[in-house]
Amino acid sequence: MATHMSRCRSWSRVQRFGIAAYRKYSSGSGYPNISLSTPLTGIPKPVFASVDGQEKYETKITTLENGLKVASQNKFGQFCTVGILVNSGSRHEAKYPSGIAHFLEKLAFSSTAQYGSKDEILLTLEKHGGICDCQTSRDTTMYAVSAEVKGLDTVVSLLSDAVLQPRLLDEEIEMTRMAVRFELEDLNMRPDPEPLLTEMIHAAAYRGNTVGLPRFCPAENVDKIDRKVLHKYLRSYYCPERMVLAGVGIEHEQLVECARRYLLGAKPVWGEGSAADVDLSVAQYTGGIVKTEKDMSDVSLGPTPIPELTHIMIGLESCSFLEDDFIPFAVLNMMMGGGGSFSAGGPGKGMFTRLYLNVLNRHHWMYNATSYHHSYEDSGLLCIHASSDPRQVREMVEIITREFIQMGGSAGEMELERAKTQLKSMLMMNLESRPVIFEDVGRQVLSTGNRKLPHELCQLISKVTASDIKRVTTKMLRSKPAVAALGDLTELPSYEHIQAALSSKDGRLPRMYRLFR
């Protein structure tokens, strides 16, 4: 009787939940023999998402009546990144005290006509799970907010207020002065000298013009910048035709509607400006050297102190990001690669790049050798940063100059393919991030009026040949070098010797004969 009841319960379980619920794992008799590739009977056919190999949502661009561009890229998710990019940066400060862009970055999202303080802005954004940030570079100022899609109206309203209606109160400007002074002090004390060297190499390469103007506010200008100076600058550069409202993760029509509501007729607090006041100077590459003698022995004290190092950066003129040669230069930069001698290796870390194979792997006393490529709308700079013990600076400089000369040789098929693959993978992986897509959309639309999609850029990268690398390198080596040096510079070769090495066939420095050592 008990056995019969047990069988009845088992059969009713099969009827209710199907055969999968009735499995005898101890023996194979109760387990259904169904192939994983065969569709199950009675189950609805699944509908899968499909891609056509191209980007499904292309970047949509609309220009409003006042000249403001609205650009958007749709992306699945309940959060969006929206911001305003302005064609304004430290390169436009020729007629003003240097440091205005640095001040505006620190003053961003402070009190406005609509919000009494920064705290009010942050509380408003928190209701939509949002955060805000402002970043300035040599040619662009970017105000950005990431928040829930349903808070788009509030976000665009807040951005309009933060960009066009800041109060710039005396106490806010005074707090900014303190923040700028602290940042300048921190810049000179931090163990990583890369930001300082980048500033120095630009000053050497473009002496006194455009992108060579200081990005960080010089200490002597901190007290010169006030509300009057800021308003004068904003009147010239913060006008609709020099702005892009960019958004990622939202519908284009919705963004355009918000832009019309909050940015089309908005009157800035500083009044209307005229295009005649805008500095349209083209970057003039000069080359040259900027040296800073500095005691680096106490930069990083502690249980494992960093040894005293001398840092050198040598650069040559490349090209603007609007030129066709920009892609071959990007591949060349990836091919040079490099990094620190203590960085962990592994796939994708560039351990097979030239600066690793030819420099760091062969010269154990070098602590760093890294290639950088800075590109702007009218010029560019490809440079190599290296660091070593102060007693071996001359040898280190010669190693770097030889690497520059060897760039002009024929690139191997395998290393070229590896560099192109690495560049494409880096591009695609970076563009997985919503804020990165936002910056890419905004910057491209601001500088060119449209956007090249990732698959288009990948096609251009694939077309780069060894002859393209040789051609752009030959062109680059004709320019005068730009040199930045930081630390103990007793053994630093003269600028003329570095220039002679980069003009020679083998990149060697002229021999020096000393009577006394």
DSSP letters along 114-145, please? Answer: S-SSHHHHHHHHHTTT-EEEEEE-SS-EEEEE
Percent of the chain with pLDDT over 70: 87
Q: Does the pLDDT of residue 226 top 70, yes or no?
A: yes
Q: What is the dihedral angle through the alpha carbons of 214, 220, 224, 229, rounded to the nearest 10 degrees?
A: -10
Candidates 3.40.50.2300, 3.40.390.10, 3.30.830.10, 1.10.340.30; correct CATH number of 60-264?
3.30.830.10
Q: Does the pLDDT of residue 61 top 80, yes or no?
A: yes
pLDDT band at 14 (very low <50, low <70, confident <90, very high): very low
Single-letter residue type at 368: N
Single-letter residue type at 32: P
Strand pairing class (366-375; 338-340): antiparallel
Percent of the chain with pLDDT over 90: 76
pLDDT, position 296? 76
pTM over 0.75: yes
CA distance 455 to 53: 9
Tell me if domain 60-264 and domain 288-503 are identical in fold: yes
Beta bridge partners of 482: 288, 315
CA distance 89 to 137: 6
Give the CA radius of gyration of the chain: 29
Mean pLDDT for all residues in the chain = 89
Domain map (residue ranges) of the chain = 60-264, 288-503
> What is the CA 347 to chain-centroid distance, rounded?
22
Q: Does the pLDDT of residue 18 top 80, yes or no?
A: no
**Strands annotated E in 43-122:** 60-63, 69-73, 79-86
Q: What is the mean pLDDT of residues 105-119?
A: 95
* Token couple for 247: 């958004």
Other beta carbons within 10 angstroms of residue 26's beta carbon come to 7
pLDDT, position 512? 75
pLDDT band at 21 (very low <50, low <70, confident <90, very high): very low
Q: What is the mean pLDDT of residues 427-432?
A: 94
CATH says 288-503 is which class? alpha beta
pLDDT, position 114? 94
Per-residue model confidence as pLDDT tens digits over 191-210: 889 999 999 999 999 999 99
pLDDT, position 271? 84
CA distance 357 to 353: 6
Per-residue model confidence as pLDDT tens digits over 460-497: 999 999 999 999 999 999 999 999 999 999 999 999 99
Q: Does the pLDDT of residue 23 top 60, yes or no?
A: no
pLDDT, position 482? 98
Task: Give the Å distances, CA to CA, from 36 to 33, 40, 48.
Answer: 10, 9, 17
Per-residue model confidence as pLDDT tens digits over 28-57: 555 667 777 777 788 887 776 555 544 456
Q: Does the pLDDT of residue 17 top 70, yes or no?
A: no
* Token couple for 260: 């019309």
